[in-house]
Amino acid sequence: MIAIYSHVAIFDGQYNTYIWPCVAVWALDRVMRIGRLGVLNLSKLQATIRYNKDADSIHLTVPVHGISRPRAGSYYSLYSVNGLKFWESHPFTLMSWNEVGAKRTKDAALKLRFLVRPNDGFTARLRDHVSQKTYTHTEIGTSEVSIRIAVEGPYGHTFNISNYQNVLMIMGGTGVTVALSYLCMIRDIAIANEKPGISIRRVQLVWVVRDNHMFEEVYESELLPLWTPDIFPGEIQFEIHVYVVENGSTTPSIKDDRGLKTKTFSSKFAKEGYAGDTGKSWTRSHIGSMGASIRSEVGSALYREHSKKMI
């Protein structure tokens, strides 16, 4: 704005009629964004970073006020109060959220969670911060630290998937965050019983992931807590198809002409997910394809039998 004003200064105010409205809009935008930061964020700005070296992924958990409700498929701008570049904002897609405490009210506190694959720039600084400041080791290859983070949002558009009977979500890598946010939306509807006439009868998640470590990290921390009979009752069939690209290539590859390269996770994960808190076995509709075969298949199976309504 200063550069534009200096550029037209030689015209003795002839273009000020056009410049000042732009300045007003810019200033109003900044005031509103600062206001949202103040309303949404807790006073301590205390977030938690968990870095899994094996999966090369960062789980970022940020506690916020519940005044602005999260939306599936939305993104937030993150500000790191630590360091010299505190003015920078970085957009990240929301992965999941949950209430802090049992009481669900409009003003209840929330915990927003984000999944980040460190690259360079801001994400590399997050990873380095964990490496330098680690004081808690939760398990082999995983470390956790606190950091001062402020969030602004949510932004973006949310699809109303509750009007569809069949929902198919095809994701790759950390793009699974979008699918997880929609599962959280289904969870909130189920818990609040706001829409008992929800049309969804089948939810299929097809996820192409680079390695087993990423799958295990996301499954144990995000998918397993969501996958309960209370959230997905018998009338909603939930299926997860996992395709693991272990050789690092960008596309799944066939081992040979006689069959598909497969990897089965059922020995560990089906045992954990097969019974609810009551100890009763889940039905096949609860387990879907997970209990029998959380697997990494390759080839054309990714695209078979998915001709109905999808998101």
Using one digit for the tens of pLDDT, what is the confidence trace for 109-144? 789 999 999 998 889 988 888 888 765 555 556 788
- Between 296 and 223, name the one with better pLDDT: 223
Q: What is the arithmetic mean of pLDDT over 243-270?
A: 43
How many whole angstroms separate alpha carbon 3 and alpha carbon 151? 30
Report the candidate in 157, 131, 133, 166 with the shortest Cα–Cα distance to residue 51.
131
CB 247 within 8 A of CB 212: no
202 C-beta neighbours (distance < 10 Å), count: 17
Residue 282 has pLDDT above 80, yes or no: no
Give me the chain's average pLDDT, please.
Answer: 73
Q: How far is CA 309 from the centre of its chain?
A: 23
Element (H, E) at 88: none
Could you give the domains of the chain?
46-155 (no CATH), 161-303 (3.40.50)
ω before 154 within 30° of 0 (cis)?
Answer: yes
How many whole angstroms separate alpha carbon 241 and alpha carbon 297? 8
CB 156 within 8 A of CB 177: no
- Kindly write down the DSSP assignment for every residue of 100-148, as one continuous string: SSS---TT--EEEEEEE---STHHHHHHHHHHHH--EEEETTEEEEEEE
pTM of the model: 0.72
Residue 168 has pLDDT above 90, yes or no: yes
Number of H helices and E strands in the chain, helices first, is 8, 11
pLDDT score of 68: 76
Residue 33 has pLDDT above 50, yes or no: yes
Report the candidate in 183, 182, 185, 204 with the shortest Cα–Cα distance to residue 194.
185
Residue 179 has pLDDT above 80, yes or no: yes
